[in-house]
Structure 1
Amino acid sequence: MNKIDSVEIHTEKQRTEDDKKYKEQIKTTQQKFAALNQLVLRDLNNDRNTPSFFLYTKDEINTYLSNPYRYQAQLRNAVIYMYSASSHFRRIIQYFVGLTDLSYIVSPYNVDISSMSDTKKIKKNYTKILHTLDGFNIKSSFDTILTVCLREDVFYGTMRVAKDNIMIQQLPSDYCDIASIQDGVLDVSFNFQYFDSRSELLPLYPVEFTTKYNLYKQDTTQYKWQLLDAPTSFAIKCNKDILSYPVPPFVGLLRELYEVEDYKQLNLTQTEIENYALLVMKLLMNDDGSFPMDYEMAKDIWRNLDSVLPNEVGSVLTPMPVEKISFNHANTSDVDNVADAENHLFTAAGVSSLLFNNAKASSNALLLSIKADQAITYGIVLSIEKMLNRYIHTLSHGKMFKISFLDVSRFNRKEAGDSYLKACQYGLPMVSYYCASQGLNQSDIDSMHFLENSIMGIPDKFVPLSSSATQSTKAADSNGEAGAPTKDLGEISDNGEIAQERDEE
């Protein structure tokens, strides 16, 4: 073998080794991204920390409410327990969470339109920021933030940023507190004493926590509480007017929930009493005071009768006349205390009881009540909006854009859509608003337009459906559909609603 051949073999061997190292690096990188894409909540094989919640007594709840700052942990645990145990409390929270569909649009931010000449770069950055927001899975994952805020008042979270998505990891509330506010967003301080007895959980948190926990171990006094890095860590609070401590928005309902259960027990007792009867067996006496029947025989007859009676009927043996005594409903109050207690519960929550037990519904009053409730949820959504804007403004491709959430829910989607559509018809640039209100994100507009027009050719294949816009008056009359269209709820008076119901009957 000559020298040249030896060099070529060495070069080929080196190339093979380099390719092997490169593949190993790629594999390691993919594993790292896979670990980021998977949010591990707990290691079930080494889980020594199980949550424990208690049903506090009514007196304990009154004590906690007397000093919410001191008993903030107890109040938080009480509402978490009630959220799991009470269907009434859960429905109220879920009702408020459902008062937004988290529709959003992305628009230019803090830029001079006249200086934006490089349209290709702007469109490229715009597409990138849309992909970043898609990575949050806002509509499917941010419901958790709303639920925690409406239940406990504060959601403490940190972001797990991966290549394709960004996951929000909830932090333990008992070891978090609000430290400062930056760009309108609340920052979080974390008590790293949390990991002293939970060191196995440390790998389940971002690397920042490991670094700061090592710092805490060097000085457990000075570094017990440390401010988490912004903008990846944040706090969302429902009651923004009280920042010193959390106050669950519906903590005042706890006492009413106990009253509902108390009245249910009273109703059950009352029903049992109403279904109870007592039979009295008369033991006759002669004029001289003696018994015409042998006493032992009378007891045997009474025992035979008592043995065949159901549990709801009692019997006694007495020398008095026989009669039936019933504790019927005629001697008790007709007031339904349970229904009254449930109505008081919803009233204390500030919502209409017609939403949950629709006995005397008035559509207009109900829609106005929903709009007032929607303002509470939208206030939390605006805090989420500030948190997202703070994050995307730190990205190189997001500095000139902002996200804006629409005040839209399933209850006012048609009203909002009609408003945006009318604005578009008058030339206002609100097509994105209309699409977002109907559930179509901006990132889907171009792709769906390309799919339906260029790929599927839907405009060329589909003929408009028959409607009042494509039919003549004569055709409409023959189908029996002439006349003004039926008005929806909120567009018709209460008397008109009653008239519609009569026509349907």
Structure 2
Amino acid sequence: MPRGRPPKKDLKKQEQHTENEQQEKQDYFMQFSRSFQNAIGSSMFYNSPFIQNEILKNINMTPHKLNRDEVEKLVANPKANEKAIRDLAQYLENYIMHFKRLVFHYGSILTFDYYLLPTNADEDDKKSNAYKKSYNKAFDWLEKFHIKETLANIMRMLVLEDAKFYYLRESEARISLQEMPSDWCKIVAKTDFGYQYSFNMMYFLQTGVNLDDYAPEFKEYFTEYSSKEEYKNRAPYWIDLDPVKAPVFKFDENRAGILPPLMGIFIDSTEIATYKELLKTKTKLEVWKILLSKIPMHNDGKGPQAKNNFAIDADTAAKFNSIIQSAVPEGVKSIVTPFDSEAVDFDQSQSKNSIVGVGEEMFYKSAGTSPILFGEKNTTGSGIKASIETDESFVLHMYREFERFLNIQLKRVTGRFRFKVVFPDITFFNRKDKIEEYLKVSQYGMPVSLLACALGLNQRDLVNLLEFESILKIHDKLKPLVSSHTQNGNENSGRPKQNKLTDAGEQTRDIDANQNR
């Protein structure tokens, strides 16, 4: 038998054979998957609402309960436990109301009030019909997108999980972002448009998953994947999606790893559940009692007492103990012993009156949010204001990320003229202050669009509302209310007399000191 290195021709044949085998396996898989899809597509089982409902729930509902030690291990190594941490966050939201309310609190701070700003048109351009068409296209797209509803829902999911994957769907009636299953998405690159993700097409091989429920191009991705040259050297069945149409919204864009923003209070959240169990045990112990009854011994005074010289036999003692046990309430246990009798209870087994309160206190301290916002404790007005401002700063950066996504989309639809969406730093907490601020500066010639934005109106809404009121002549129909403060010319004019006055006030009235003032 020949020894040594095989000839080059044999090596080339082996390599070619291996490549052919891989290609045959891939072709076989794609053929099988297409046949499988066609087979189940017409079956009654595939169209079962139970299967379809389960598929929809699996997109963003995979909660998993863990104990404190397991949580510590996950938090200590988040890089290797992204899915487990995401599932834990969902469990905590479902089980710990404090955590759920905190997620909703952070996710609902932003108002998403916006105004539209032209970026490349001069004064003459703005008078042209082409500019007006572009302007209307921009607002038409934004109105079909339903900014406040869509982005508010996304924001709450980001506070819970850090990153969410979407695909842009456009129709005549509405523009929406379809949520993609996170377990089948992987962040693969960072681009000028944000992070880019890859999607595993194996997802569509699951029973109950329908390609028709996704954008039409997914059918092309699924059927043409194996023939595309650029994917030859990639892991099978993963396809990179265009970040313009498939955005990744991420709470923390500094890291590609997916780490929930509230991960720092996961342990404190699980402690609340632990303290609840301790309180339950403590409450049970406080109502438990043990009655210890002593069996008398013979003692005739003649020398040492004999061992086990009981005055009552075991059967008799057991019968009497049974009678005692049947007479005492639930939670009281009767025991017969040869020792001295006494009652043992477990009251005051814990010096803290509110064990759960300890966990709640640690939770809010770790979260850095004032508990008074959730009906806990009291604090000063300045303390609440400072806490709210800290909470606002925690989420305001997301405005910039949403602006980037929307402005990329507007570039596709407005044509020659460019517009950009701007979210002023308005929140549900600072709206009143912003209205006062913008009202004050508008009196000095600053844009009134800022004031309208603080009131929840964009420029189109503002113009349409003013034109509508002008057509209906609403201002002409409004009349100020007549009050005693605005009446004059008779003896009953002026401020109404008060019934309760101080001594000094009554003296002033008696001598008519305010007459003719």
Which TM-score band applies after superposition, normalised by the shorter structure? 0.7 to 0.9
Measured against aligned partners, the alpha-carbon deviations of 1:334-384 in whole angstroms (never above 9, x if no partner) come to 364321222212222232233224312222111111111112221122201
CA RMSD after TM alignment: 3.1
Q: Compare 61-70 and 144-153 and name the one that shifted more.
A: 61-70
Equivalent residue runs for 1:167-206 within 5 Å? 167-197=176-206, 200-206=209-215
State whether residues 128 and 397 of structure 1, in contact with CA within 8 Å, keep that contact through their aligned partners in structure 2: no
Q: Partners in 1 of 2:225 and 2:395 — Cα distance? A: 38
Range with bigger deviation, 290-299 or 301-310: 290-299
Please report how far the alpha carbon of residue 71 of structure 1 lies from its aligned counterpart in structure 2 after TM superposition.
1.8
Instruction: Specify the code of the residue in structure 2 equivalent to 1:448.
Output: L
- The alpha-carbon deviation at position 307 of structure 1 amounts to 0.4
Q: 1:477 to 1:226 in 2, by over 3 A?
A: farther
> What is the CA-CA distance between 1:218 and the residue it aligns to?
3.1
Deviation sequence 1:233-271 (CA, Å, 0-9, x none): 21111111112x211111232222222222221222222
Kindly provide the CA deviation profile for residues 387-438 of structure 1, in whole angstroms up to 9, marking residues without a partner as x: 0001101113584211111222221111111111111122211x22222222
In the alignment, structure 1 residue 148 sits paired with structure 2 residue 157: yes
CA pair 137-466 structure 1, distance change in 2 beyond 3 A: farther
Match of 2:255 among 222, 242, 258: 242
- Is 1:60 equivalent to 2:60 in the alignment? no
> 133, 140, 149: which one pairs with 1:131?
140
Instruction: Report the TM-score when normalising by structure 2.
Output: 0.75
- Cα distance, 1:251–1:221 mapped onto 2, change above 3 Å: farther
Query: For residue 464 of structure 1, what is the aligned residue in structure 2?
Result: 480
**Alpha-carbon distance in structure 2 between the residues aligned to 1:358 and 1:466:** 44
Shift of 1:477: 6.9
Is 1:377 the counterpart of 2:377? The answer is: no
Q: Does 1:110 align with 2:120?
A: yes
For 2:197 and 2:157, the matched residues in 1 are separated by: 16
Is contact 2:196–2:240 with CA below 8 Å preserved after alignment? Answer: yes
Aligned-residue offset at 1:440? 2.6
The counterpart of 1:217, out of the listed 222, 226, 242, is 226
SS in 1 for 2:203: helix
Q: 1:81 to 1:296 in 2, by over 3 A?
A: closer
Relative distance call for 1:203 and 1:341 in structure 2 (3 A) is same
Aligned partner letter, 1:211: E
- Structure 2 match to 1:256: 268
Inter-CA distance 281–200: structure 2 relative to 1 (3 Å threshold): closer
Is the 2:288–2:345 contact (alpha carbons within 8 Å) kept by the matching residues of 1? yes
Q: Compared with structure 1, are the counterparts of its residues 471 and 303 closer, same or farther at alpha carbon in structure 2 (3 Å cutoff)? A: farther
Q: Does 1:44 align with 2:61?
A: no
Cα distance in 1, alignment partners of residues 497 and 183 from structure 2: 69
Worse overlay, 153-162 or 187-196: 187-196
**Residue among 339, 353, 365 paired with 1:347:** 365
- Could you tell me how far 1:386 is from its partner in structure 2? 0.7
Structure 1 residue 265 corresponds to structure 2 residue 277: yes
For 1:398 and 1:358, how far apart are their aligned partners in 2? 55
- 1:338 aligned to which of 349, 356, 375: 356
Residue type at the aligned position of 1:57:
N
Amino acid at match of 1:449: L
- Work out the CA distance in 2 between the residues paired with 1:441 and 1:468: 39
Residues 306-358 of structure 1 show CA distances to partners (whole Å, capped at 9, x for unaligned) of: 102122212233466654333322x6423643212222122222322332243
Report how many aligned residue pairs link the two structures.
433
2:80 is paired with a residue whose SS is coil
Which structure 2 residue ranges, 5 or more long, are not aligned? 1-46, 500-517
Contact 2:198 2:240 in 1 (8 A): yes
Matches within 5 A, 1:86-101: 86-101=96-111
Identity %: 27
Pair 460,368 (structure 1): closer, same or farther in 2 beyond 3 Å: same
Residues 252 and 116 of structure 1: CA distance in aligned 2, closer, same or farther (over 3 Å): same
Answer with 1 or 2: which has the greater Rg: 2
Contact 1:131 1:443 in 2 (8 A): no
Deviations 1:105-144 (A, max 9, x none): 1121233x34425244433432332221111111112222
- Residues 189 and 196 in structure 2, CA contact (< 8 A), matched pair in contact too: yes
Is 1:395 equivalent to 2:405 in the alignment? no
SS of 2:116's equivalent in the other structure is strand
CA distance change for structure 1 residues 164 and 463 in 2, over 3 Å: closer, same or farther?
Answer: same
Question: What is the TM-score with the length of structure 1 in the denominator?
Answer: 0.77
Summarize the Cα distance change of 1:466–1:411 in structure 2 as closer, same or farther, 3 Å threshold.
farther
Closer, same or farther in 2 for the Cα pair 1:359/1:305, shift >3 Å?
Answer: same
The farther-off stretch of 461-470 and 271-280 is 461-470
Q: Is the Cα contact below 8 Å between 2:189 and 2:195 reproduced in 1?
A: yes
